[in-house]
Structure 1
Amino acid sequence: MTTLATLARRAHERFADRPAILSGDGWLTFADLGAAARRTANRLLTAGLRPGDRVVMALDNRPEVLIVEHALFLSGLVRVAVSSRLHGQEIATIAADCGAAAVLCEQTHAELVADRRSTLPLLRTLVAADGGAVAGSDSTLAYLVAPGASETAPDVPAPTEDEVAALMYTSGTTGQPKGAIVTHAGWLAMLRAFWAELPPSGPGDVVLHVAPMSHFGGSAGSAYTFRGAAVVPVRRFDPPRSLDLVVEHQVSVLPLVPTMLKELTAVAERRAEAGTPFRAAHLRAVPYGGSAISAQALVRAREVFGDVLYQCYGLSEALAPLTVLSAAEHRPVPSATAPARLSSAGRPVAEIELQVVDADDVPAPVGAPGEVRVRGAAVMPGYWDRPEETHEVLSADGWFRTGDLGRLEDDGYLYLVDRRREVIVSGGFNIYPSEVERAIAELDAVQEVVVVGVPHERWGEAVAAVVVTRPGFTLSDEDVVTACRERLASYKKPLYVEFATELPVSGNGKLRRREIRERYWADRARLVGE
């Protein structure tokens, strides 16, 4: 029986002398990674954690992320990786929802999580990332991975394929965080799909992590790590520096979100115009996903990076890649400035069943729009401790309703055209209107508020808030933005604030959110950001 613990141990042994991850002190080998992971696992178990307990990681890209991830796999603990850009209160809310036994977070968040400790009755250890332990924390990340603890394999029962390996948090239309369950079998299905769709990997490959390791980048990266590839983590995305690192470290794999791909393309184009074109013959795969991207942007990216682009579509509840647009499918065709297929999300991978269905769940005719639903081992068995929400999206026979609207053409390509759910995807991050609306509604001056996604050249989509103020009150754009900044991750704050005297409602008094949103998307072929 193969589990993530099995794959981690095999990698530590088979590639023992090969470089595994670049740290501040130089390269750690796979043997070093295994030893550090076992130390970390044993320290967590000594702190009172047991297999099946949830461990929240809200960390920047850093060597410790991979060490802790392998420690969790080896000890049967559950990986709950979330964005380090979340607000500390949001991290605490997720920890409370999953009953976390440990929280590992950046220094800036540790005190905020500590302040909420009374809401976390199962929390046994709070670990701050840098420097000394902050008030209310129990340890530091440096201590957790440092020499001094036992380096023998954790003395715990081996996990089974059906046990929970990870929770992938998403909020859905309610804005309330929900953990999509990923079993060991589900994560393995994701790995098999990446192995089948991306170029063969092994020792000698180098993965540069500029996209968050907590999201798509880390998922794609794990497929390479288990086959002996080395990892270079970068805490902050800086486009010029990122291009330099690709050359400096002979990077072969570069997972990205579309916003990053566009920014790297623009930097490379400027350098080419200045007489220093970007050249990286060693770069073999740039898997990207997380939001839509225009066909013309992909044409430009291919001209810079070559035949290395792989678009991967997936969700927290159904792990990427569900569909893939391969490097070959990015190639130009005669007499076309951009092949039509570049507007697609690619074709379904072998182990996934995918349908576009109408309102009655009947498969739609070829080319007709409908909701995308999928079935396969990479689909979650349900949300953590939320049977009602699970029932709403997951059928008894395993079909998951994605909430994405699309069409399947007769050549098998999937085209995504809109989202039934109201999620805003900005720079690869999911933002849920209801959570932003709640933050704004806490202002006394707000009578009504609606939040929608609007087109944005850099991020694909941006947050816009339309606010109706109470009679006799005044409110400024900055008041609205500040209210969000104080309660939410910075990327969730509105970039645009509009004031109105009233909001459109239907005959039964229901807010017509789509009517507001469509004002901003007039004359666009797709109602998703590019």
Structure 2
Amino acid sequence: MTASFWNDKYPEGIPSEINPDEYRNILAVLKQSCERFSQRPAFSNLGRTLSYGELYQLSGDFAAWLQHHTDLQPGDRIAVQLPNLLQYPVVVFGAMRAGLIVVNTNPLYTTRELDHQLRDSGARAMVCLANMAHRVEEVLPVSEVRHLIITEVGDMLPNIKRQLVNAVVRHVKKMVPAYHLPTAIRFRQTLAQGQQESLREANPGPEETAVLQYTGGTTGVAKGTMLTHRNIVANMLQCRPLMAHRLEEGREVMVAPLPLYHIYAFTLHCMVMMLIGAHNLLITNPRDFATFIKDLGRYRFTGFVGLNTLFVGLCNDERFRRLDFSPLKATFSGGMALTQAAAERWREVTGCTISEGYGMTETSPVVSVNPFQQIRLGTIGIPLPSTGCKVIDDEGNELPPGSTGELCVRGPQVMKGYWQRPEATAEVLDAEGWLKTGDIAVIEADGYLRIVDRKKDMIVISGFKVYPNELEEVLATLPGVLQGAAIGVPDSTNGEKIKLFVVCKPGATLTEEDVIKHMHDNLTGYKRPRIIEFRDSLPTTNVGKILRRELRDEELQKRKTGEPAT
């Protein structure tokens, strides 16, 4: 659909277009925000808060160190392997101010995954947490990394607290395996040395790559997505007007439990919230609900950025339900499909309606969002300003509103391409700038988008298409269900049959018959699962998205080894 299709569908106050060239690069936005909100808090973690002014000073110190104490040149890549700590924004913005390309790196990577990313990106520098340094030690000799900076959890805290926190992490919790990296530099040393140096501010062009963001690898070998300064600036400017109805500049306190190295949290917290001068509460380990909820109790938070599994887990925790939610006025969901049950439960507990959006690494990442003026649960909202969307059939023909097809996106936030993979880029990005998302969607007549499922996750039974999202949505309404996943497994009669994996809430006593009856009562015949398997947990990505591919691979392996697939 052309942009004009949505012109009369945007709520009042939301433009259909933005100017993606309003700022030359991310650094221009950073400078403006850090000057404008210099006294306002930017990031808080482990009891310390950095103001925007302090963030600019510290990131400048790190940038100056990179320029004066290494041989790194603008355009070189620096891998950043950090959880949600104050070090993260200091390092990322410092690297950009020195002209480097940031390579966000998951701290949970195995040695094999880390080796692939370092080799593929050609990173010449790396910042990592001491907790992961033993893995870095294994891959460092075969990588191009020549400058390694190591930090510890408490390094941004005041002196006494820093020593205490680092000692507990290292000696009491024993979370730092032994490593031997004699050439590594301590992060605190880089700041101290950089403070003594002068900084030559980088000024990259709009089309220069700012971030190499690797896809999760759930659909093959992880690829580096080249996101330019213009891509990310555009996405900031596209998101801002859709939030302006509910969020005030320089006044919001946003909870950041999702990892900043993931594109969803990276853009929302480090970029969009920086643009509007918000205060971001960094949660280092959101799986530790006790500490997480205790941290929330210390702040009057006004915004929350999460995803379905996190919403479900928190609402099931009595400690969370006792918090004061009166200041909360905005909740954002992305990263995976939001179920109706989770959205309704969140609204019941917090009093706040979730605004679900949609995006992907290749789109910096936001494509669409539910505007606060007109939130419609069950949809991913309307496209951002300056964003075109269409759905196509298997032959590439554009389909009319109401049809089901593959979603394609065009706009200034669409990636430059995949790093050193022109063939892979050509497979998804055409000459007119349309990106094939791999998601099956419907564009409603009133302009709202609805994702049906991933194209590769679709199940085909006797020629009928079945989408796992629909089955999982129905399963989520069964009392006692915590999580669920549906996949197709080979069937000699119908091509495929449906297998449903179920994780029960603590104390629930569901049976296979309970699940089958519930699905039978709510779904037509060919959509009903034939196999039910109860599990204690399901494989997930670092942000909690269930990995159906791993479940399918397990079933395939069982068939190869002759184990019963049921």
Match of 1:227 among 259, 276, 285: 276
Whole-angstrom distance in 1 between the partners of 2:210 and 2:309: 29
3-state SS, counterpart of residue 322 of structure 1: strand
TM score, norm. by length of structure 2: 0.70
By how many angstroms is 1:197 displaced? 1.4
Match of 1:32 among 29, 44, 54: 54
1:83-482 superposed matches below 5 A:
83-121=106-144, 123-130=145-152, 134-136=179-181, 138-140=183-185, 142-143=187-188, 146-150=191-195, 154-170=199-215, 175-198=220-243, 199-215=246-262, 216-222=264-270, 223-237=272-286, 238-267=288-317, 276=322, 278-330=323-375, 341-421=376-456, 455=501, 457=503
Change in 2 beyond 3 A, CA 1:490/1:16 = closer
By how many angstroms is 1:58 displaced? 1.7
1:50 aligns with 2:73: yes
Deviation string 1:485-515 (CA, Å, 9 cap, x unpaired) is 9xxx9997967955645599xxxxxxxxxxx
Change in 2 beyond 3 A, CA 1:456/1:387 = farther
The CA RMSD measured in Å over matched residues stands at: 3.6
By how many angstroms is 1:354 displaced? 0.6
Question: Which one-letter code corresponds to 1:55 in the other structure?
Answer: I
Q: Which runs of 5+ in 2 are unaligned?
A: 1-22, 153-165, 167-175, 459-467, 473-486, 488-497, 506-536
By how many angstroms is 1:108 displaced? 3.5
3-state SS, counterpart of residue 146 of structure 1: helix
Q: Is the 8 A contact 1:54 1:100 kept in 2?
A: yes
When structure 1 is superposed on structure 2, of 14-23 and 140-149 the one drifting more is 140-149
3-state SS, counterpart of residue 343 of structure 1: coil
Deviation string 1:404-459 (CA, Å, 9 cap, x unpaired) is 11111212222212212459999xxxxxx9xxxxxxxxxxxxxxxxxx99655589
Identity of aligned residues (%): 25
Whole-angstrom distance in 1 between the partners of 2:190 and 2:302: 28
Q: Which residue of 1 aligns with 2:477?
A: none
By how many angstroms is 1:347 displaced? 1.7
Change in 2 beyond 3 A, CA 1:35/1:370 = same
Whole-angstrom distance in 2 between the partners of 1:48 and 1:249: 43
3-state SS, counterpart of residue 214 of structure 1: coil
Q: Is the 8 A contact 2:325 2:351 kept in 1?
A: no
3-state SS, counterpart of residue 194 of structure 2: coil
Whole-angstrom distance in 2 between the partners of 1:9 and 1:21: 16
Question: Which one-letter code corresponds to 1:265 in the other structure?
Answer: C
Question: Which one-letter code corresponds to 1:66 in the other structure?
Answer: P
Q: Is the 8 A contact 1:55 1:100 kept in 2?
A: yes
Deviation string 1:147-191 (CA, Å, 9 cap, x unpaired) is 342366632541111111111111556521211111111001111
Whole-angstrom distance in 1 between the partners of 2:550 and 2:366: 30
Change in 2 beyond 3 A, CA 1:95/1:137 = farther
Q: Is the 8 A contact 2:301 2:327 kept in 1?
A: yes
Question: Which one-letter code corresponds to 2:261 in the other structure?
Answer: S
By how many angstroms is 1:68 displaced? 0.8
TM score, norm. by length of structure 1: 0.75
Q: Is the 8 A contact 1:128 1:134 kept in 2?
A: no
Question: Which one-letter code corresponds to 1:230 in the other structure?
Answer: H
Q: Which residue of 1 aligns with 2:104?
A: 81
Q: Is the 8 A contact 1:356 1:408 kept in 2?
A: yes
3-state SS, counterpart of residue 416 of structure 2: coil
Deviation string 1:87-114 (CA, Å, 9 cap, x unpaired) is 2331221111011011222323322222
3-state SS, counterpart of residue 251 of structure 1: coil
Deviation string 1:339-386 (CA, Å, 9 cap, x unpaired) is xx4222222122210111111221113222110010001100100111
Change in 2 beyond 3 A, CA 1:95/1:414 = same
Q: Is the 8 A contact 1:51 1:156 kept in 2?
A: no
Whole-angstrom distance in 1 between the partners of 2:419 and 2:502: 34
Q: Is the 8 A contact 1:181 1:381 kept in 2?
A: yes
By how many angstroms is 1:145 displaced? 5.4
Whole-angstrom distance in 2 between the partners of 1:453 and 1:185: 44
Deviation string 1:263-317 (CA, Å, 9 cap, x unpaired) is 122225x765xxx4x4322222221100012112211112222345221200011
Whole-angstrom distance in 1 between the partners of 2:503 and 2:369: 24
By how many angstroms is 1:57 displaced? 1.3
Whole-angstrom distance in 1 between the partners of 2:277 and 2:218: 39
Q: Is the 8 A contact 1:36 1:151 kept in 2?
A: no
When structure 1 is superposed on structure 2, of 493-502 and 230-239 the one drifting more is 493-502
Q: Is the 8 A contact 1:312 1:320 kept in 2?
A: no
By how many angstroms is 1:236 displaced? 0.4
By how many angstroms is 1:394 displaced? 0.4
Whole-angstrom distance in 1 between the partners of 2:206 and 2:504: 41
3-state SS, counterpart of residue 304 of structure 2: coil
Whole-angstrom distance in 1 between the partners of 2:545 and 2:183: 27
Q: Which residue of 1 aligns with 2:14?
A: none
3-state SS, counterpart of residue 292 of structure 1: coil
3-state SS, counterpart of residue 147 of structure 1: helix
Change in 2 beyond 3 A, CA 1:253/1:139 = farther
3-state SS, counterpart of residue 377 of structure 1: coil
Q: Is the 8 A contact 1:110 1:137 kept in 2?
A: no
Q: Is the 8 A contact 2:83 2:284 kept in 1?
A: yes
Change in 2 beyond 3 A, CA 1:64/1:24 = same
